[in-house]
Amino acid sequence: MSSIRKRVIAGNWKMNCSRVEATRLVKDIITSLKASPMAEILIFVPSIHVADVSALIKETPIKLGVQNAHWEHKGAFTGEISVSMLQDYQVSHLLVGHSERREMFADNDEQVAKKFAAALKYDITPILCIGETLEQRQQGTTLKVLKAQCQAVIDVVGVKAFQDVIVAYEPIWAIGTGETATPQQAQQVHSELRVWFAKQDASIAQNLQILYGGSMNATNADALIAQPD
């Protein structure tokens, strides 16, 4: 039964917002939330705003995420921040494997798995982003691509590590393009992913939270959220 899975709404700010804009946006989100929201609310802010946002949401149900981090505890990695550093700012979630990181910054499956494992090590929940290109969808290899992206992480941490993490299905052809998978397309992929996970661990599959991302907005959100998977 899907009712045992929590509902999660996550917003990735990417490389947007000045300090003033970030503060204003967080305050607007806080104001708009009901006292007891019916979903877990996550915001993934640019790392430079983590300290400010962390202070603003301290007494709210909003949870704070970071868009990227390095898997090493410390070292000569100019320009990087480590997962362990995030603990100082009440960061609870970390995006790993976002298509923009994979395509623009050459994050490969091995690195994604390392970041995933590092997040778990420091008690931060990873959100594993997976997705196919338009060409891969047209070739009918969507599930093959998604399974390979998940398997690369499972090979490192094991399927049991997916007990309390989140998988985010974000078709690359729909990210920031205005194109959106139909609720039926999203449901089909989510369902097939759950079946595949069930072959490795039925309990993990049943409870696994799978988000849809890719030009989701106020117009289509209700129909997407209403899907059983």
pLDDT tens digits, residue range 39-53? Answer: 899 999 999 999 999
**Spatial separation of the C-alpha atoms in residues 167 and 185, rounded to whole Å:** 17
Beta carbons within 8 Å of 140's beta carbon, 6+ residues apart: none
Catalytic residue, from 93, 100, 170, 190: name it.
170
Average pLDDT over residues 138-149: 95
Alpha-carbon gap, residue 52 to 19, rounded angstroms: 8
As a whole number, the mean pLDDT across the chain is: 93
Angle at CA of residue 126, ends 183 and 131, nearest 5°: 40
Active site residue 170: yes
- Segment 75-126, tens digit of pLDDT: 999 999 999 999 999 999 999 999 999 999 999 999 999 999 999 999 999 9
pTM for this predicted structure: 0.94
> Which is catalytic among the residues 70, 98, 132, 190?
98
Give the 3-state secondary structure of residue 201: coil
